[in-house]
Structure 1
Amino acid sequence: MSEEGNTNPTQPAADEGEAPQPPPADTAEAGGVDAVEGDGGAAAESANAGGEAEAEAEAAPAEGGEETAGTADETSPAAPTEAQDGEKGGSEEPTNLPVSPPADGEGAAAEAGTQEAGEAAAGEGGGEPAAPAEAATAAAEGEGVAGRVADDTEKPAEGAEKEPPAEGGDDRLLQEGVEAEAQNGEANSTAETGGAQVSIDFIILPEGYGQTKRYSPNAKLTEIRKELEAELSIPEGSLFMLNLTGPVEVEGLLETEKSLEDYGLRPHDRAGIELRINYYQEAPLQSYMMPDVLNVQVGVYIAGERDVVRTPRSYFPADEVHKVRTRMAQVIQRHARGAFARSRARRLRKEKADRAAWEEAEKERIQMEGDMRHKREIEKRMHPRTYDDFATLYMELEGWRINETNRIKRSDFPDDVKHAALRELLAKETRLLQTIDRLKLQAHSANRDAKIKRLLESMAKPRVWAQSDGETTTVHTPFTTRAKELMDLYNGLRLPLLTVDERLDVLLHVKWTVKEFDCNLTREIVDLIDREADMLNRGRPENSLRSLRTRVANLFLNFIRTPEFNPEAQRFQKVPRELYMQSAVQPFSTVVFE
């Protein structure tokens, strides 16, 4: 790039980090091409840079229609028609290629040049100058082209005097001061961040259109969304931003209250954001005019959604139908008869199995009853208990004796041998009779003990009362409780194999029980208990105390059977108490001596 047309004595120098100054008043007042051509040096500089800017614009178009038009006005004032065409064709959204961010001083100069180009374009179009915020946004979006233009242009010499503004109205000067303050604030913010920005690749779904823009890291998504909605000419709030990709991955809808820096994006980062447009737009109704003549066509609509194509089969005569029905009926009959036969066979098999099981159980029962009967017969002969048992023993003994006598008499032995055999038979019969008598005594003792046990248990048994609902209630009365205590004492007296201390404890309890009453029976029981205790203390053997213990037990049994001492015994008296008097159980105060 030649440096001849780059000197402009009237243009101030753009130091690094210093905001650019607003253009002179006479330049701002001039409109269109005249405003740009008023400054000869600036026009020459813009003309030199315009060719290269147009070449770069052809290779990589600007991000938006409005930004491209502004850059074209700045770099090539000799071609205002192309800039105006760019503004009119701003609906197209070409995708910008990524551009490296400029340096700190170059970014400020690029923003100032872009702002001047925007004002010049606005002057050419005959409209009002752009607002400070819009100019700053346009400068941020078009910094790629403006940066390259600023690189090609030479900075003016430092110390150059500013051109005094032309005379104009106060309102015009006030508006220019406001715009200058906005530009200075934007330049200061850019200088604070170092001039570095974040590149955002926007993709509109589902169309797939893309566009790349640059923003400050502290820019909020709300402002970015409003800017994009204004560019796309869609209602406010109808653009949704989601799925942030790049250095930071965020899925789902993005929160517009946050800034890019809040999402973790830093200067020089490149990220992607998906855009979705969702709004409803009512189309205006088309005007309709009723014609003078109406042609009405009457027809019938037949829906064919449920139509089914039917293909006829071969003809089937009645004889064949009858044969098929007969064959099918025979098949059904076979299956039915088979089912009936299988059911009857299962029932017969079950009856047979049940009969066999019953016969087996009956056979086992008969065998068990036979074994038990045999055991009872042996038990009756080994340990007879009843009168019938002893009668059977005597009968069998007599039959055995008769058979043995006849056998001896029918034998061919001599008479002396026969007499000896008869004497031996008689001796054996005698021993068997003695054995039977001994078994009778044992049975009598066992039967007596069992009878006494049943009597005492019957006395101690609680009363059972039947209720109206069929349930029974068991009640222990004072009489049954007394009978149970006496039964326990009697069983303790009959216990064998007790130690001396245990026997003395039982005797002491019996003595305290009978001493509640003073009569001949109780005195005799007390004397016998004292005698046994004295003999136990002397160390007498158990065999010598057997008769004494039997006597004590019998006397205490009489004590239990007496209704005066055991009221529950009244129910088991066979003879009424009034018919006889027992002097042994009467107290001494009531005994009458004759």
Structure 2
Amino acid sequence: MSKPGETREEGENEKTRESPQTVRSTTTQPPGGGREEKSEDGSDEPSATVLDAVKDQMPDDADEQDKEMNVKNSTATVKVLLVPGGHVMTMAFAIGLTIKEIKHHLASELKVPLEVLQLYLNGRVVEEKQSLMELGIRPHSSTQMEMSSSDPTSYPLRLPLPPEHDTMPDVITVQVQKDEGVFKEVVVEIERSHQKKPFLGGYRHRLTGAEYHNATVQTLPKKRPDRGVLVHSLGTQTAELKSKLQQCSVDMSTQMTGIGCYVSCVNDKLVTPGKYVTADEYHGRRLKAVICLQSYIRRWLAQEEVEQLRRERARRLAWFDLQERKCKEEKEAQLRERRRRWMNPQNKEDFNLLYHALQKWRNEEEEQINCSLRGAERKAALCALLEQEMEFIAAIGRHQINVEAINQDKLIRNFLNKAAAAHQWRSATGRLFEMDSVPDIRARALKEIYDDISKFPVDQQERWSFLEKLRNTVMEHECQLVWDIIDLIDREMDLMGRDVKEHNLEGLRKRICTLFLQYIRTPAFNPKVIKLLKVHKKPSELQHDMFFCHGCQRYLWSADFGSSTTGCRSRRCRNCTSLDNVARSRDDNSVYQSILRRLRTDELRLNPETSIPFLLQVDDIRYLIEKVWASCSALNGSRDIYNLAFARWDIQEDWSPWNCILLSKEETSAHTQVEHIQKAYETTFIQWIEQKHSMARQHFSKNPVIAKNLGL
């Protein structure tokens, strides 16, 4: 029974933590505080206490049977947090129950399938085979678990009753007097029972107004003891029905025509015996029908197989046509790209292609002159050929100067745009944010001034305002560079005041742009460019990273020299090598660059961890193609360099110079389908390929990284 002042709802039951019964409550807020409910007779006075019910359930120190109670039957309070609703279901379970049994009970309460429920303890999914005791939950303790639905769209987790209808605390603490002056605190769990029990009477204190109900209203019904005899049985309470058919005896007789009796024969039928069919004839007819049926079935199967072969043949022919058309289109695209590079070269590789074509034309013309002319005519023709070659070289040089000027302007614009760009970053949601700092604003202002002063031609008044703006900007600092810029600005303004023509001022304006660009590149005037400029090392650190170029007779960084996988450092820098190529050899490495790019793409697709194709350079691929494989396909001997590609010799191993073969693009797709090389190729051909691999292994074994892969 409860203390005066604490009220209870009529349908609620109370029990201590020692009770093995399962109780439940559903809350949406932390437990705390009681609530007042009206009594059965409609009054607002508080209800009776639960002390009497608690005293009956308290353990007795002298009772030894309670000490021997099975631990698995002890209960623990489990608070189940429904995710993402945030509601809490509080229930008491025996710690011997498994997670599967608990999920089955929760599924029946929430009316959702058992498979969609997922229970979490401390952020980890609990297994269905584990029990609460195995999870570390002690008897009469309290724990909290989370539960979510794997299919929240079809089976959301909703409370059986709205949360606003249940605000009663699920656990309360009461004091029980054991002896005189001795009190003990007992934790009482409250079971939410939504059925309305009848009011069976009670008492009300006249002075205090406390209401005392009968024990039947507040406690669970007393459980009947198990007598070991089955009292209620479904078989004894269910009637068994049986159906049985019975035939009554009927007397029957026949009548025939005789003396004194006439039977009409109007309805009689005349039955004549047919031909008797023997068993052999019957089985023979059946066999003939089966053979006929099998012949039709086999004919249908044969037609289906032929049709399938016809479809496969058509599909294979279509695939061959597609591959042939694809190769033709790829080759035409390469030729178009090559022709475009001839007509409009833009970078160093394009000009190398142009010089290579010029060298090829010169060799053909020289060979024709040597074959057709002799003596003085031959010398005159060779001189004319040399003059024509010089004109072509001069035209290519002029075009190269124009392209370099355009590219230089693009580089300057890209540099200024990067310096003036705002700081950007992406948030966790993927949204792009931008922030302008003081250096960003300074760099953007300098970029705008450079754009203004680099405009040619421009109105005189507008040009005057641009120069004034430039003067005010650079006068913030004092140095020799600023004084030179101001001197040039004064000179241009003086010349404009004398009405000098614009084409005469073009050189002066370019000098102003050059000095102002140098001003922008100075970190003291533009702090944003610090991240974009090369950071030079200390002289003491550069002494081991400097090499002598035998071409230009200068000491340069190691980065200015070409790299090679053979381990031999080049004696000339990149600029000297490029100049020598233009003057004498005039080689074009663009086709070898394309072969290397395709090789890296294919190997990266087959094995992302491969490394050797990325160690090789264009010169190494050129050596493999020209020296090792003689610039022709290993199978058909095709010398079309634009149609050659490298493939693995053994498909199961990574590509390397000693595990490769040079084939045409059509042969590459067929070679990749070969599983057993010894069965697909002859022994002589295999030995010839192995000889090529030995040459490549001997050449590339000088590199320490490649030698490591060789096992040397």
TM-score tier, shorter chain, comes to: 0.3 to 0.5
Larger helix percent = 1
Larger Rg: 1
TM-score, length of structure 2 as denominator length: 0.31
Larger strand percent = 2
TM-score, length of structure 1 as denominator length: 0.37
